Structure 1
Amino acid sequence: MKRRTGPSKGDLREAAILDAARTLFAEQPYDAVTIDDLARAAGLSRTGFYFYFRTKAAVLTALMARFWDVLGASHVWFDSTGPSPVLLREQLLASAQLWREHAGVLSCAPGTAEVREFNARVTARHDERCAEKISRDQQLGTATTTIPANRLAEMVGAIRDARWSQMANASDAELDDAVQDIAEAIQRLVYGPTPVS
């Protein structure tokens, strides 16, 4: 029996749909892109498209999952102890760069239950990891205890997301400034005005 050494034809077709979606969602609003557009851009028939994805929202969710997997691997600050400002900036910079590169996809906000549920799971996963980090630091006496860790984590996410939504066309300098601003806001929120490095 021959062992497969590379991606299957199906894997390649699914990847072609996702690549086509990334391009199309970056060029025009989500609602303007049709299944026929996605299938044609991927070199498939409409019927062929449905073999891989049930809906356009399923394509968007799969595409977002790709990005969030990459982002999750860059969450170095969550595994640190104490304020760790250098690691916080590293984590935020990775997030900002990903957002800027894929803003057309990540800013899609269709009202489908599928995408809402996916976004809720991603947010919950981020907030949970952030809360675990803050809780450890509260126990060590470096983070404020006046606000529960889970609420601080939600605030951290809200601060970051509000700023990232403005990053689609940011220059490198603007991106760096945004990262610096958010890092300082998070440090002050969680550790006070003069956190220990």
Structure 2
Amino acid sequence: MSQVTRRRTGPSKGDLREAAILEAARALFTERPYESITIDDLAGGAGISRTSFYFYFPTKTAVLTALMARVGDELAASHVWFDAEGPAAGLLREQLAASARLWRDNAGILSCAASAMATSPELREFVGRVRTRYDERAAEKIRRDQAAGTATTAIAAHRLAEMISAIRDARYEQLAGASDDELREAVDDLTEAISRLVYGRA
């Protein structure tokens, strides 16, 4: 007699609880400083007990790291300029617009991460990997363009990539609470600055 295996078609109870913790954390990290948020706050926001919380995450920082991983994945998915040839200002603007929106929409999480990195080697390592991944992809593109004769060779590709990150991050830090018009202005500023830096023209 054959047996019929029942297949799960939706998220499990555990999946839903983990998602609830992350959603509660997103709201709390957006509204309050990282240091003021407790495990009880996160568990209560998700509608579970403190004991149940530890079944899914060992620490508050682990929850923040999971949220940062989502942001990092979305950021990586927006990197359309890195595969282009030459200045490709339209794709550069598209990439910057996507990452600027991510930065603005997750400003609270990013602010909490900046605070937590002071005491969390795990989070510092994760953020470092995300930054390195960005810089390596930028440097690879610049090397291709240098070889093709479109990008400046006066500065090494990896240094240019680091400078792009510094310029971008400094401008993005001003975007918390920015309007759509302010965000577009920031993207325009960055598109011109990066184009001039790498290619010598806007």
Correspondent of 1:31 among 31, 35, 42: 35
The alignment status of 1:40 with 2:44, answered yes or no, reads yes
Q: CA deviation at 1:144?
A: 0.6
Correspondent of 1:124 among 116, 121, 132: 132
8 Å CA contact 1:39, 1:45 repeated in 2: yes
Residue aligning to 1:105: 109
Q: Give RMSD over aligned pairs.
A: 0.8
The amino acid across from 1:87 in the alignment is L
The amino acid across from 2:104 in the alignment is R
Correspondent of 1:138 among 141, 146, 165: 146
Q: Which runs of 5 or more residues in structure 2 are unaligned?
A: none
Identity percentage of aligned residues: 69
Residue aligning to 1:95: 99
SS of the residue 1:107 aligns to: helix
8 Å CA contact 1:107, 1:165 repeated in 2: no
Q: CA deviation at 1:115?
A: 1.1
Correspondent of 1:190 among 189, 194, 198: 198
CA distance in structure 2 between the partners assigned to 1:55 and 1:139 by the alignment: 47
TM-score (norm 1): 0.96
8 Å CA contact 1:35, 1:46 repeated in 2: yes
Q: CA deviation at 1:67?
A: 1.2
The amino acid across from 1:97 in the alignment is R
Residue aligning to 2:185: 177
Residue aligning to 1:62: 66
Q: Which runs of 5 or more residues in structure 1 are unaligned?
A: none
CA distance in structure 2 between the partners assigned to 1:78 and 1:72 by the alignment: 10
Per-residue CA deviations over 1:40-71 (Å, capped at 9, x if unaligned) read 00011111111111111110010011111111
Residue aligning to 2:157: 149
Aligned residues: 194
TM-score (norm 2): 0.94
Q: CA deviation at 1:125?
A: 0.5
CA distance in structure 1 between the partners assigned to 2:110 and 2:130 by the alignment: 12
The amino acid across from 1:29 in the alignment is P
Q: CA deviation at 1:95?
A: 0.5
